[in-house]
Chain A
Amino acid sequence: MKSIKILVLVFFGLLALSCNNSDDGSYVEPITIYEKMQGNWNLMNLRMVDQFAKANAIEPSEQNLSALFNFDVFQITFNVDAAMHPTNYEVSGNVPPIFQLSGYWELNSSFQPTSPGTIQINLYSDAQKANKTDTLLLTSVPGSNAEMEVQLIRSSGGTPFISYVFSLNSNN
């Protein structure tokens, strides 16, 4: 009879030993656009859109520049640090300077905004990000297809008159 009690105790003891701490999951940061954008991108296509012509229904309103001025070998790299914070960026391919070809970058929003609105890629000449040189628009955020679209808009007096549409695919 005593041996049965001991057996029962041992059984419960074993049950207790086999239990682990409950796994509630640890806190994980949500994926930011920096994570999606970081790395090296190839140019698939570059279009120059005449926004004035387009607004006034004048043709042609668009030209393809992909094969001109070395844009066929255009690459852009967006670098981040270990904490996924933006650092510097660089364009290679020896293309004309339609925007500052190297410097530092930052988004106006780390996450996809829930309300309609475009994410701005602000470009700076200094690491302190005090001197803004250009602003690009991220018009298509990289998803599972590893492609994104970036636009450079030329405006005067608040009215856009030209946009350059860069279609990029990831080289990572």
Chain B
Amino acid sequence: MKRIIYTILIALFVANNFAQAQQEVGGANKIWSYPVIYNYDEGVTWYFDLSTTTFAVDEEVYIWIWSPSEPDAGNWENSSEFAHLTNEGNMLWSFTFTPTEYFSMTPEDIAASAGFWMRLKDKTGAKQTDVINVSYTAFSSFYTANELIRTYPEAPTLNGGLSILFNSNLVPGFENVPSVHFHSGLNNWSILQEYQAWIPEITEKTKLKDLGNGFYKMDLIPSEYYDNIPDGFVMENITYLMVAADWVANSGDQAINAAEYIPPPPPVFRFFPLQISKKDFLGISRINNEVGINTLYYTINAGTTQITGEFNGGVSEIKGFVNLPSALQGISNINEIHVLVKDNTDRTISDTTIPLKTLD
């Protein structure tokens, strides 16, 4: 018993030292999968929004996963190519794989494991994220629920993934059909993707995945699945029928109401404090940043003195303070500063003259 405790203590001590050697870059802002629901033996893409981390925009990111198994064991300092994530741009990375193949495990063993636990890292292990858990949505209850249709999420968004489960056993005429198709339109059939049985590509695009025993699944992202969506389109619903090949049977009219469209909060740029003297720190911040905006570059002109620098951050906030007391020490005869702030896309965020208060 004592030996076990010592071993654990030593392991913790070593793990602690090991962890301190890394640069911690923070946690993921958002994680999702496509398809929304998937079997463990099905291909899936995990998306990691790392805009809240200090990874570089062009960082080569690798996955280091140890549960349900550790495929890249022993390679912390030199991650394998199979653990390499795809950079989707705008601080979004993706990892496409089939769980049963990647972990060399059966679906049953993965289901019985502690789940998906990992860190994301650079190739050499110099940088790492916080520990990440990717959650898994089990849907096996659908097979016994006697429901005709079930959707994940219940209220889809235009740009988010949607999975629709269909139990054809509850509709006469679907027995032993070769395939089932999704005949649909957005906003009460105003933007269509019909099942056109005579066009092979459309037949394939609208085809549901056969889960066996009369159960089917459709995976789609509305904004990508439907063509010719106008700018500023607000999705209210998806109307559809599940149709057997060559229209020998159909599910009757169905509809899914979309989630309420909530626009992202507008960015807010501000200086802190609102009044300043040349002996004070100047805070510069911007909250609710657009995806991909992670750096503010400032150029401050005070008389003949120029101060430049940058602050980093992410979607939630970019913030920093300029050391005016040191930069302007001993400089007299200035009663204002000119501040130019640009972001990492070279867009001008602020171009302002700030008066300096005269101290009593």
Taking Cβ atoms with an 8 Å cutoff, the residues of A that contact B are 48, 50-53, 58, 60, 63, 65, 68-69, 96-98, 154-158, 161-162
Contacts and interface: CB of A to CB of B under 8 A. Distances in A.
B279 A154 contact: yes
B275 interface: yes
A165 to B, nearest CB: 13
Contact of A156 (B272, B329, B357): B357
Contacts of A158: 360
Given A154-B357, A156-B359, A157-B360, A69 B273 contact: no
Nearest to A156: B357
Interface stretch (B36-44, B59-67, B181-189, B319-327): B319-327
Contact of B280 (A58, A154, A155, A157): A154
B325 A98 contact: yes
Contacts of A154: 277, 279-280, 357, 359
Residue from A155, A157, A162 having most chain B Cβ neighbours under 10 A: A162
B274 A96 contact: no
Contacts of A53: 273-274
A66 B326 CA distance: 17
Contacts of B34: none
B358 interface: yes
A65 B281 CA distance: 9
Contacts of A52: 273-275
A160 to B, nearest CB: 9
B337 to A, nearest CB: 15
Contact of B326 (A48, A68, A96, A162): A96
B329 A50 contact: no
Interface string B76-92: 00000000000000000
Contacts of B173: none
23 contacts: A48-B281, A50-B272, A50-B274, A51-B273, A53-B273, A58-B274, A68-B321, A69-B281, A69-B321, A97-B279, A97-B325, A97-B329, A98-B280, A154-B280, A156-B275, A156-B277, A156-B357, A156-B360, A158-B360, A161-B274, A161-B275, A162-B275, A162-B276
B273 A96 contact: no
B283 interface: yes
Given A69-B323, A97-B326, A98-B280, A161 B273 contact: yes
A63 B272 contact: yes
Contacts of B323: 69, 96
Contacts of B329: 97
Nearest to B325: A96
Interface string B39-73: 00000000000000000000000000000000000
A128 to B, nearest CB: 23
Interface string B316-355: 0000010101100100000000000000000000000000
A152 to B, nearest CB: 9
Given A53-B274, A154-B280, 17 more contacts: A48-B272, A48-B283, A50-B274, A50-B275, A52-B274, A52-B275, A58-B274, A63-B321, A97-B329, A154-B357, A155-B360, A156-B277, A161-B274, A161-B275, A161-B276, A162-B275, A162-B280
Nearest to B279: A98
A155 B359 contact: yes
